[in-house]
Amino acid sequence: MEKQDQRNFILFTVIAVMFLFAYQALIVEPDIERRETAAELAKVQQESADRIAPPAERAISLESALAREGRIVFDGPGVDGSIRLTGALIDDLSFRNYYDTTEQENEIRLFRPEAVPSGFYSGWYWVDEEGRRVMGFEDPWSLVSGGVLSPGNPVRLAYEAEGLRFEREISLDENFMFSFSDRITNTGATARRLRPSGAVRRHGVSKDFLEATTPGANRDRGIVFLGLMGVMDDELIKQSYKKLEKDEMIAATTQTGGWIGLTDKYWLGALVPDQSEAFSTSTNRLLRSDGALLEVRTVGTEILIPTGESRISEQRIFAGAKTREVLRQYKNEFGIPRFDDAIDWGFFYFLTKPFFAALVFLKGYVGSFGLAILAFTVCVKLVLLPLYNRSYASMAVLKKNTERIKEPLERIQKQFAKDPARKQQEIMALYKKENINPLASMGGCLPLLATMPIFFALYQVLFVTIEMRHEPFLWMLDLAAPDPTAIGNLFGLMPWSAEAVKNIPILGFVIGIGVLPLLYGATMFISQSMGTPPTDPMQRRIIMFLPVIFMFVFGGLASGLVMYFVWNMLLQIPQQYFIMRRHGVDTGFDRFLARYLKGTKESGE
């Protein structure tokens, strides 16, 4: 095997392996996780007595939980639900504009009461200087004024205990932010020192509560971060649900500004304390008779309240979709540091953020994210045009040189077949004599290598940004989901869904391939046919098989991403052909066309 062929073989093998690893990480592993049972609790060993939470009653239905206690209904443009008067907890919240499927029948529910399976809720309370709760989640508030909570229509609550009177005003904005303004009056005989404290709680194990919020969430975890997320002293803090379930808790303190919460792929429930005050945060996992309870808690700066006087404190809770524009708006309006980093921009964040901004900008002109992706592809192609031109020119020169020295190379290979070292020396001498640079053989692979960071960054954009979720284009119902067509249902002609085809064990992997992955495999094969095939038969077979590998890898990726690469290939093929022909090189397309014309001529005769 010649040295330049060895380099080609190694390089293409590395690229294939990288894509196989990507397929493993993005498709196979999430599917394995989906099939696993939620048995983590059985592996958790008995905890010490001080970590055992009081037994909870058996879980009840959502309707029963919402009907049995006093509640305040809220109704906004972004969210609807209710607040439990006991504890003033936000434990019933759904999104008005986000649904569990593309049919848009059921709203996504983020918060659920404690008594139902996979409870998820948040609230603010108060503790004294010893950390004892003087107003907690089980204390009853009374409604003083207000009806349905909505933007511009706050509600006012009151609660009295231990010589303290709490007056709370809760307001809701146009999106996902709840504000809690507490006026505390000391009616006792001595001064009091209190601290505001907040908590976000989730019940059960992650595989259950993620699925309860977004059906199918365990099938498409991919490489997105799920778990505890926040910013303390401008430092991004993360801890995955898996680590939290292994009792790998965290604690941190910030001097001014920050936030902390629990995040899903698209949704976030977060505490936003007073941004002008210092606060600390901690996590806790309790074992209960009804399962596990994960808690993220903050404790704010101590407030001194002399007897007969009042103090006011304002805190917030974000419960919503991680829409970049909304997060940036809150970042600027309330001074919440790095709030837009609640979106998991990934390792290539320096590409992911500008890519997303470019797609949003282009959408404003072309009207849809589908067309924006096509326009974005053209922009990327123009930026990489010089690199592609040099690479294809290098491939053309290599192909011409290979044809020119084909006979001497074959003689050397036969003459020194049993002496590889001598054969390599003779080949290098031939290259030197013919003024051929063997490293030029790698030039044709440079565009593919250059697109790797673009691949992962664009994948991250399509996978984690909620703006792409359920975004339709042509036959694709969701640009963030795999191609909805499949061989197994004749690309939509048969009455069963592509998802059902793809779920068929083993066989579904093959017949679940859709239109876009097939198009990519075809266009990649055409592009390869214009290059220089390796002289070694085994290498030729491996390289010819690469389009098939890529086709199956792309079969489970976001259709918007595959559409990008198909369109990129369609733009690349004429460019590649023009440059090869300009250098006087016949391509596979030329040979096919010649055979076709010859056959047509002969049939005509």
Cβ-count burial of 211 within 10 angstroms (0-12 exposed, 13-18 middle, 19+ buried)? middle
The pLDDT of residue 273: 95
Please report which confidence band the pLDDT of residue 300 belongs to, taking 50, 70 and 90 as the band edges.
very high
Residue 20 scores a pLDDT above 60: no
Percent with pLDDT over 70 in the chain = 78
Residue 548 scores a pLDDT above 70: yes
Residue 400 scores a pLDDT above 80: no
Residue 351: CB atoms within 10 Å: 18
Strand partners, 296: 200, 283
The pLDDT of residue 53: 41
117 within 8 A of 58, measured Cβ to Cβ: no
582 within 8 A of 545, measured Cβ to Cβ: no
Residue 497 scores a pLDDT above 90: no
The pLDDT of residue 317: 97
Question: 259-263, 291-295, 529-533, 581-585: which has the highest mean pLDDT?
Answer: 259-263
CA dihedral sign of residues 455, 327, 232, 259: negative
Domains parsed from the chain with CATH numbers:
3-28+364-481+514-604 (no CATH), 52-344 (2.70.98.90)
Residue 175: alpha-carbon gap to chain centroid: 22
Q: pLDDT digit string (tens) for 138-183?
A: 999 999 998 899 999 999 999 998 899 999 999 999 999 999 999 9
d(C-alpha 159, C-alpha 185), whole Å: 11
- Section 414-430 average pLDDT: 78
Please report which confidence band the pLDDT of residue 590 belongs to, taking 50, 70 and 90 as the band edges.
low
Name the pTM for this structure. Answer: 0.80
Q: Find the helix packing angle between 537-554 and 3-23, rounded to 10°.
A: 20
Cβ-count burial of 135 within 10 angstroms (0-12 exposed, 13-18 middle, 19+ buried)? buried
- Section 213-226 average pLDDT: 74
Q: What is the residue-averaged pLDDT of the chain? A: 81
The pLDDT of residue 44: 35
Among candidate residues 260, 266, 283, 249, the one with its CA nearest the CA of residue 210: 266
- Section 260-284 average pLDDT: 94
Residue 486 scores a pLDDT above 60: yes
Q: Flag the least confident range among 17-26, 135-144, 212-221, 461-470.
A: 17-26
Please report which confidence band the pLDDT of residue 561 belongs to, taking 50, 70 and 90 as the band edges.
confident
Please report which confidence band the pLDDT of residue 592 belongs to, taking 50, 70 and 90 as the band edges.
low
Among candidate residues 40, 55, 43, 38, the one with its CA nearest the CA of residue 287: 55
d(C-alpha 269, C-alpha 228), whole Å: 10
The pLDDT of residue 484: 85
The pLDDT of residue 503: 75
Strand partners, 306: none
Please report which confidence band the pLDDT of residue 542 belongs to, taking 50, 70 and 90 as the band edges.
confident
The pLDDT of residue 583: 65
Q: Flag the least confident range among 10-19, 562-571, 584-593.
A: 10-19
The pLDDT of residue 211: 86
> Taking CA 382 as the corner, what is the angle to CA 378 and CA 388, rounded to the nearest 5 degrees?
115
CA dihedral sign of residues 460, 463, 469, 472: positive
Q: pLDDT digit string (tens) for 57-83?
A: 556 788 888 888 889 999 999 999 999
* Alpha helix positions (H), 62-205: 62-67
HSE toward the beta carbon, residue 356, CA cutoff 13 A: 25
- Section 494-521 average pLDDT: 79
In this structure, what DSSP letter does residue 36 have? S
The pLDDT of residue 552: 83
Q: Flag the least confident range among 148-162, 245-259, 272-286, 496-510.
A: 496-510
Residue 463 scores a pLDDT above 80: yes
Locate tokens 């058996």: which residue? Answer: 58
Residue 196 scores a pLDDT above 90: yes
**566's tokens:** 């198909």
Residue 11 scores a pLDDT above 70: no
The pLDDT of residue 446: 59
Give me the phi and psi of 5, to 5 degrees please. -70, -35
Residue 27 scores a pLDDT above 90: no
d(C-alpha 518, C-alpha 550), whole Å: 10
Residue 217 scores a pLDDT above 90: no
CA dihedral sign of residues 294, 282, 165, 92: negative
In this structure, what DSSP letter does residue 56 have? -
